[in-house]
């Protein structure tokens, strides 16, 4: 299945059905009069977040969604049937943006979340509703309220607990392959990852979701390389795992570049909790690894964990740190055996 995280679609609710113009004419019935019923309500455009979807690829082939129009009223004061709603199913994490992408109109973060996005028009009035003491035989009727329509953008932001960031060839794909069942492409050239990858990590009887995005280069926030398009997929992550290539030309400069792009993108990415890891330490001796770790520690002010995604060295320590940030352990019960729930008060 191809991955698609943006799509533009046209949505239109159903117009209301017209009211009827009808007069009662029955044999042996002494009184007649208007009996035209109202028109039916038009169908709504409804968005629903469902499980099992992680791409917007279906919207590449189906881009127009229209709800059914309400049916017309009838004689004997019969109201027309309402139009059928059109339910558009989207992945969890989908946002609906205005045509100019300036406004977020809806945000779906939970399975089963539904929203009536465009309401169908109300049905028109039948001629019976126009009857009065001075207008005993009205012939006017309502045509029904018009439909609502608009173009919108769908943007998918994958929901993950942890996000991987780093320069191209920092070893992100190797890492996610080592700790999950993901089958990310690995190669000795930049941008082997061209679309986000999701994987589920099982560690110490707990599970969390980790997302790998294409590598960042200087100027990504302005569109260089693959650009900042995929950074939106880590906006909702609780923690970022920042991988720095120990075998690169200048690991400290690499760290600065990625942090600069996160800051330029905004959305609070630069301020998210981070776990900083010096990757590919299997290619260096211990002395050089310690020297590079000290330099990164001085630059970032954070602990630097040595890591080798290829050999597995340091994986447990990195995953432990990620778990601490994602779900800190609950305070231990006091020694007196009080089993009341812990409270800071």
SS (H, E, C) 84-135: CCEEEEEECCEEEECCCCCCEEEECCCCCCEEEEECCCCCCCCHHHHCCCCC
> pLDDT at position 104, please?
93
The annotation status of 310 as a binding-site residue, yes or no, is: yes
The annotation status of 177 as a binding-site residue, yes or no, is: no
How far, in Å, are 22, 23, 167, 185 from residue 129 at the CA level?
Answer: 11, 12, 70, 68
Domain boundary residue among 156, 178, 199? Answer: 156
Sorted by sequence, the CB contacts under 8 Å of residue 24 that are 6+ apart come out as 31, 32, 33, 34, 35, 75, 76
Q: Is residue 306 domain-shared with residue 239, that is, in the same domain?
A: yes
Q: Is residue 73 domain-shared with residue 218, that is, in the same domain?
A: no
The annotation status of 212 as a binding-site residue, yes or no, is: yes
The annotation status of 309 as a binding-site residue, yes or no, is: yes
Q: Is residue 151 domain-shared with residue 172, that is, in the same domain?
A: no
CATH code for position 50: 2.70.210.12
Q: Is residue 146 domain-shared with residue 48, that is, in the same domain?
A: yes
The annotation status of 81 as a binding-site residue, yes or no, is: no
**Residue ranges of the chain whose pLDDT lies below 70:** 1-3, 182-195, 215-229, 328-345
Q: Is residue 171 domain-shared with residue 117, that is, in the same domain?
A: no
Four-residue CA torsion sign, 180, 184, 188, 192: negative
Residue 41 in any domain: the answer is yes
The annotation status of 331 as a binding-site residue, yes or no, is: no
> pLDDT at position 2, please?
62
> pLDDT at position 345, please?
36
| Chain position carrying tokens 């044999």 | 27
The annotation status of 234 as a binding-site residue, yes or no, is: no
The annotation status of 131 as a binding-site residue, yes or no, is: no
Q: Is residue 150 domain-shared with residue 178, that is, in the same domain?
A: no
The annotation status of 166 as a binding-site residue, yes or no, is: yes
Residues 301-326 pLDDT 10s: 889 999 988 888 899 999 999 999 88
Sorted by sequence, the CB contacts under 8 Å of residue 248 that are 6+ apart come out as 167, 169, 170, 254
User: Is the separation of the CB atoms in 223 and 146 below 8 Å?
Assistant: no
Residue 317 in any domain: the answer is yes
The annotation status of 279 as a binding-site residue, yes or no, is: yes
Residue 178 in any domain: the answer is yes
CATH code for position 206: 3.40.50.300
DSSP 3-state assignment of 174? helix
Number of domains comprising the chain:
2
Residue 220 domain boundaries:
162-326
Q: Is residue 134 domain-shared with residue 72, that is, in the same domain?
A: yes
The annotation status of 123 as a binding-site residue, yes or no, is: no
CA distance 42 to 44: 7
Structure tokens at 225: 């390389």
Residue 67 in any domain: the answer is yes
* Reported pTM: 0.71
The annotation status of 213 as a binding-site residue, yes or no, is: yes
Residues 51-81 pLDDT 10s: 888 789 899 889 999 999 999 999 999 999 9
The annotation status of 167 as a binding-site residue, yes or no, is: yes
The annotation status of 202 as a binding-site residue, yes or no, is: no
The annotation status of 17 as a binding-site residue, yes or no, is: no
DSSP 3-state assignment of 271? helix
């Amino acid at each position: 299945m191809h991955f698609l995280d943006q799509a533009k679609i046209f949505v239109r609710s159903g117009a209301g059905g017209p009211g009827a113009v009808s007069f009662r004419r029955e044999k042996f019935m002494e009184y007649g009069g208007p009996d035209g019923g109202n028109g039916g309500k038009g169908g709504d455009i409804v968005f629903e977040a469902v499980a099992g979807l992680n791409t917007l690829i279906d919207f590449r082939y189906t881009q127009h969604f229209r709800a059914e129009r309400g049916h017309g009223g009838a004689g004997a004061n019969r109201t027309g049937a309402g139009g059928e709603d059109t339910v558009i199913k989207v992945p969890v994490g989908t946002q609906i943006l205005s045509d100019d992408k300036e406004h977020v109109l809806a945000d779906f973060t939970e399975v089963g979340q539904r929203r009536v996005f465009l309401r169908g028009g109300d049905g028109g009035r039948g001629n019976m509703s126009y009857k009065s003491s001075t207008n005993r035989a009205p012939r006017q009727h309502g045509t029904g309220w018009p439909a609502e329509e608009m173009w919108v953008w769908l943007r998918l932001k994958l929901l993950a607990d942890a996000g991987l960031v780093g320069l191209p060839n920092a070893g992100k794909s190797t890492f996610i392959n080592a700790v999950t069942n993901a089958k990310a492409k690995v190669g000795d050239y930049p941008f082997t990852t061209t679309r986000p990858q999701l994987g589920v990590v099982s560690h110490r009887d707990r599970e969390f979701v980790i997302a790998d995005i294409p590598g960042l280069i200087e100027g990504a926030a302005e569109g260089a390389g693959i650009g900042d398009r995929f950074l939106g997929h880590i906006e909702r992550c609780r923690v970022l795992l920042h991988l720095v290539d120990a075998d690169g030309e200048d690991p400290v400069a690499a760290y600065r570049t990625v942090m600069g792009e996160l800051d330029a993108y905004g959305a609070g990415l630069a301020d998210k909790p981070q776990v900083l890891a010096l990757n590919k330490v299997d290619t260096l001796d211990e002395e050089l690894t310690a020297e590079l770790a000290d330099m990164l520690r001085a630059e970032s002010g954070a602990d630097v964990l040595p890591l080798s995604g290829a050999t597995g060295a340091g994986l447990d320590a990195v995953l432990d740190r990620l778990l601490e940030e994602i779900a800190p352990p609950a305070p231990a019960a006091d020694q007196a055996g009080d089993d009341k729930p812990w409270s800071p008060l």
